């Protein structure tokens, strides 16, 4: 058996195992609603599926999902670009880095949910406010991973490249950027769920659309199925977004192979 065939079979078994795990979890969830008579407290997969169909027919599901997705992607994009650029610049600067890093840590320590009312005053209750909530979470994840990764670049390798006549651009392209890219994508993968969290928190604070808005309004009328349906759609959306990031990571960094890991929660 060739190595390609062996890898294909391992991948196939892994996919089947994941399907079995998700099936068992959904089955236990459905079973618990009958064993503990908790249908009103935990709803169930069958009721959630019916609500998904109903919301889809009413046009509510697509509108809310698209609104949350836009806020997540815009916030993720702005936060990633800002965090990567500022982290790289400060990481490569031996003077500005140590000077401004404590300022970044102080800003990071501020609970982001407390910025919600301020963002409402600045940006209103529209899409901009949710975007800024998401970007404020993403920025610091990407900034700190990029900053620390850039400062850990092998300076001996850079020195040897200079001795061999490499230009600054060649050093940047061949050494600095490839090593920093690993840390940038680590920050991106860690921050992606928090971009979604930031958008949903913004919808909880003030909104007229979005999955967070659906969950919030459902909870106000004690609609457990509505809350679980919104949470289920958010979970699926998070898994899809993470899969897209992993695909881009493999395309942009084919030399980097890493084990699958669980996301690290924020400090």
Residues 181, 242 share a domain: yes
CATH of the domain at 107: 1.10.3720.10
Q: What is the pLDDT confidence band of residue 74, given thresholds at 50, 70 and 90?
A: very high
Residues 169, 71 share a domain: yes
56 domain-assigned:
yes
| DSSP letter (8 states) at residue 131 | H
Number of domains in the chain: 2
Residues 153, 183 share a domain: yes
Residues 115, 23 share a domain: no
Residues 136, 113 share a domain: yes
Residues 125, 30 share a domain: no
Residues 139, 49 share a domain: yes
Task: Return d(Cα 198, Cα 179) in angstroms, integer.
Answer: 29
pLDDT by residue (tens digit) across 98-146? 788 788 888 877 777 778 788 888 888 888 899 999 998 899 888 888 8
Residues 161, 150 share a domain: yes
Burial letters 250-262, b for 16+ CB under 10 A, else e: eeeeeeeeeeeee
Check: CB of residue 210 under 8 Å from CB of residue 199: yes
Domain extent for 235? 44-252
264 domain-assigned:
no
Residues 101, 10 share a domain: no
pLDDT score of 36: 64
Element (H, E) at 246: helix 224-252
Residues 53, 8 share a domain: no
266 domain-assigned:
no
261 domain-assigned:
no
Write the CB contacts of 75 (distance below 8 Å, at least 6 apart in sequence).
Answer: 130, 131, 132, 133, 134, 135, 136, 137, 138, 195, 198, 199
pTM of the predicted protein model: 0.76
Q: What is the pLDDT confidence band of residue 69, given thresholds at 50, 70 and 90?
A: very high
pLDDT by residue (tens digit) across 140-193? 888 888 888 777 766 666 676 777 766 666 666 667 777 777 777 778 888 888
Residues 99, 25 share a domain: no
């Amino acid at each position: 058996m060739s190595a390609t065939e062996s890898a294909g079979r391992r991948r196939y078994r892994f996919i089947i195992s994941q399907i079995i795990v998700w099936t068992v979890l959904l089955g236990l969830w459905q079973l618990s609603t009958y064993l503990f008579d908790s249908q009103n407290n935990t709803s169930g997969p069958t009721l959630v599926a019916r609500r998904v169909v109903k919301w889809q027919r009413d046009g509510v599901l697509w509108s809310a999902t698209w609104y949350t997705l836009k806020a997540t992607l815009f916030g993720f994009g702005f936060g990633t670009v800002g965090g990567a650029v500022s982290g790289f610049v400060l990481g490569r600067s031996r003077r500005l880095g140590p000077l401004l890093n404590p300022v970044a840590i102080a800003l990071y320590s501020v609970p982001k949910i407390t910025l919600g009312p301020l963002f409402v005053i600045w940006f209103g209750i529209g899409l901009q406010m949710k975007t800024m909530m998401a970007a404020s979470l993403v920025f610091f994840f990407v900034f700190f991973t990029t900053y620390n990764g850039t400062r850990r670049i092998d300076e001996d390798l850079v020195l040897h490249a200079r001795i061999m006549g490499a230009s600054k651009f060649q050093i940047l392209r061949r050494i600095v950027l490839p090593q920093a890219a690993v840390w940038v994508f680590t920050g991106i993968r860690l921050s992606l769920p928090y971009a979604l969290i930031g958008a949903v928190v913004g919808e909880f604070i003030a909104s007229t659309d979005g999955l967070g808005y659906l969950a919030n309004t459902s909870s106000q009328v004690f609609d457990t199925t509505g809350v679980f349906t919104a949470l289920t759609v958010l979970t699926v959306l998070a898994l899809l977004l993470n899969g897209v990031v992993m695909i881009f990571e493999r395309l942009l960094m084919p030399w980097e192979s890493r084990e699958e890991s669980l996301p690290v929660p924020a400090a």
